[in-house]
């Protein structure tokens, strides 16, 4: 399952520094706009203590963690929706992602140039959001011309539904609200909305890049952002990208842990950010575990057993018979699959079973 999170923001807010901390790929990080011209892509392992525990218990020959793809996209400037700066490239790259990590500069540093000379994360956020909204409004208005004609003809019920969705989006965007603020209840409406690929309909996480001293509790800039995004259906987290880059350079886990303790953090911002990105995409994990391999499999929340089986191989879904399910806590507390069976804790589930985060699964199929 290839799902992407795009890192976006104005030039020089710390996007590439953060990307370098997240990934083994090394994006050029320099104190001038557009140092990232082509999108840098990194496949990031999702930190999961459950996987570590299963590996410890099963001692497998191989281990495969869950992953998320992170894309570092070139900095955007005012006028991008009309092609200013690298606007067209930016908008094309972000359209290909499934979620947005919006990095905001929430620190003062005279040595790092700001494109608007002063630090104001709310203004910066509004610049990018406005450009995305303008592009979405262009998309919606273009579709409205065609759809309104079909709806007025009277015989196309689907066109009427689409018209209502487009008008709701148009109203929101003209009011300066993102498309994701529009609530759509029906499955047909939601399906049509996905087909529009609106930029502001993507889930977003605002990443406040702060200085070392603000890494734990944030600062006034962060609070201003938190207040500004109320009601936007978006999350916020605090990361000190410069600090994270220093942590990434340490060789051992013990050194990193000691560094984190010194600054008052239980875990790195990078680990928290990766999990947040995973959650932002509404992803969960089930496991397969045995002496050959322990593996984390990524699925979208609400997936049923046959479709979860199909993530491993399409034949598993086509010929699905049943799923044998062990809860992670039962496996850990009882110590082995055999012990779980003997205790009567292994469940046999059919086609309507909704897979739960942390399930350890074995699929029976016939093709």
List, for residues 319-362, the tens digit of each pLDDT value: 999 999 999 999 999 999 999 999 999 999 999 999 999 999 99
Contacts (Cβ under 8 Å, ≥6 apart) of 163: 144, 147, 148, 151
Distance of alpha carbon 323 from alpha carbon 236, whole angstroms? 37
Select from 88, 281, 127, 100 the least CA-distant residue to 200: 100
Distance of alpha carbon 204 from alpha carbon 195, whole angstroms? 18
Distance of alpha carbon 365 from alpha carbon 321, whole angstroms? 5
For residue 326 the two structure tokens come to 């062990």
Residue 134, pLDDT above cutoff 70 = yes
Select from 209, 198, 248 the least CA-distant residue to 44: 248
Instruction: Check if the beta carbon of residue 81 is closer than 8 Å to that of residue 134.
Output: yes
Which pLDDT band holds residue 38 (cuts at 50, 70, 90)?
low
For residue 63 the two structure tokens come to 């281990």
β-pairing verdict for 67-72 and 320-326: unpaired
Mean pLDDT of 261-284: 83
40-54, 211-225, 338-352: the lowest-pLDDT one: 40-54
pLDDT of residue 32: 39
Mean pLDDT of 240-254: 81
pLDDT of residue 344: 96
Handedness of CA 189, 190, 194, 199 (dihedral sign): positive
Residue 29, pLDDT above cutoff 50 = no
Distance of alpha carbon 300 from alpha carbon 171, whole angstroms? 30
Mean pLDDT of 274-287: 88
Mean pLDDT of 249-270: 80
Which pLDDT band holds residue 39 (cuts at 50, 70, 90)?
low
Distance of alpha carbon 43 from alpha carbon 24, whole angstroms? 9
Residue 55, pLDDT above cutoff 80 = yes
Mean pLDDT of 110-125: 82
pLDDT of residue 327: 97
Question: Which contiguous run of DSSP H or E holds residue 236?
Answer: strand 235-239
pLDDT of residue 75: 61
DSSP-based three-state secondary structure for 346: coil
For residue 218 the two structure tokens come to 């944030």
Residue 34, pLDDT above cutoff 60 = no
Average pLDDT taken over every residue of the chain: 85
pLDDT of residue 79: 56
Phi and psi at residue 364, in whole multiples of 5°? -105, 130
Select from 316, 350, 245 the least CA-distant residue to 29: 245
Residue 24, pLDDT above cutoff 80 = no
Contacts (Cβ under 8 Å, ≥6 apart) of 56: none
Most confident range (mean pLDDT) of 26-35, 143-152, 157-166, 302-311 is: 302-311
Of residues 332 and 40, more confidently modeled: 332
Question: In this prediction, what percent of the chain has a pLDDT beyond 70?
Answer: 89
Handedness of CA 11, 15, 17, 19 (dihedral sign): negative
Which pLDDT band holds residue 309 (cuts at 50, 70, 90)?
very high
Which pLDDT band holds residue 233 (cuts at 50, 70, 90)?
confident
Condensed to tens digits (0 to 9), the pLDDT of residues 179-210 reads 988 988 888 899 999 889 899 999 999 999 99
Of residues 79 and 37, more confidently modeled: 79
Cα angle vertex 274, ends 185, 231, to 5°? 40
Distance of alpha carbon 231 from alpha carbon 180, whole angstroms? 11
pLDDT of residue 31: 42
40-54, 65-79, 119-133, 183-197: the lowest-pLDDT one: 65-79
Residue 232, pLDDT above cutoff 60 = yes
Distance of alpha carbon 187 from alpha carbon 190, whole angstroms? 5
Handedness of CA 353, 359, 364, 365 (dihedral sign): positive
Select from 124, 130, 177, 136 the least CA-distant residue to 15: 124
């Amino acid at each position: 399952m290839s799902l992407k999170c795009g890192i976006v923001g104005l030039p020089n807010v710390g996007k590439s520094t953060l990307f370098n901390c997240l990934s083994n790929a090394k994006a050029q990080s320099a104190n001038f706009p557009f140092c990232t011209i082509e999108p840098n892509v990194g496949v990031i392992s999702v930190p999961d203590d459950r996987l570590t525990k299963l590996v410890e218990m099963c001692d497998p020959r191989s281990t495969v963690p869950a992953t998320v793809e992170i894309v570092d996209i070139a900095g955007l400037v005012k006028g991008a929706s009309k092609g200013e700066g690298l606007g067209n490239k930016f908008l094309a790259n972000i359209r290909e992602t499934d979620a947005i990590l919006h990095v905001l500069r929430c620190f003062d540093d005279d040595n790092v140039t700001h494109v608007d000379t002063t630090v104001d994360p709310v203004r910066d956020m509004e610049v990018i959001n406005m450009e995305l909204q303008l592009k979405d409004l262009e998309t919606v208005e273009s579709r409205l011309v065609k759809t309104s004609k079909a709806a007025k003809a009277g015989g196309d019920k689907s066109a009427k539904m689409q018209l209502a969705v487009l008008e709701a989006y148009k109203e929101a965007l003209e009011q300066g609200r993102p498309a994701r603020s529009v609530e759509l209840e029906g499955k047909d409406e939601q399906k049509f909305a996905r087909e529009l690929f609106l930029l502001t309909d993507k889930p977003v996480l605002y990443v406040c890049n702060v200085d070392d001293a603000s890494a734990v509790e944030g600062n006034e800039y962060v609070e201003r952002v938190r207040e500004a995004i109320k009601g936007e259906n978006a999350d916020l987290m605090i990361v000190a990208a410069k600090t994270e880059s220093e942590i990434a350079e340490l060789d051992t886990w013990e050194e990193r842990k000691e560094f984190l303790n010194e600054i008052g953090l239980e875990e790195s911002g990078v680990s928290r950010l990766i999990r947040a990105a995973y959650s932002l995409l509404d992803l969960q994990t089930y496991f397969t575990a045995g002496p050959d391999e322990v593996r984390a499999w990524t699925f979208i929340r609400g997936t049923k057993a046959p479709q979860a089986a199909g993530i491993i191989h399409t034949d598993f879904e086509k010929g699905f018979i049943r799923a044998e399910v062990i809860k992670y806590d039962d496996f850990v507390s009882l110590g082995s699959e055999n012990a779980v069976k003997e205790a009567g804790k292994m469940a046999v589930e059919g086609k309507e079973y909704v897979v739960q985060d942390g399930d350890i699964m074995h699929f029976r199929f016939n093709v």
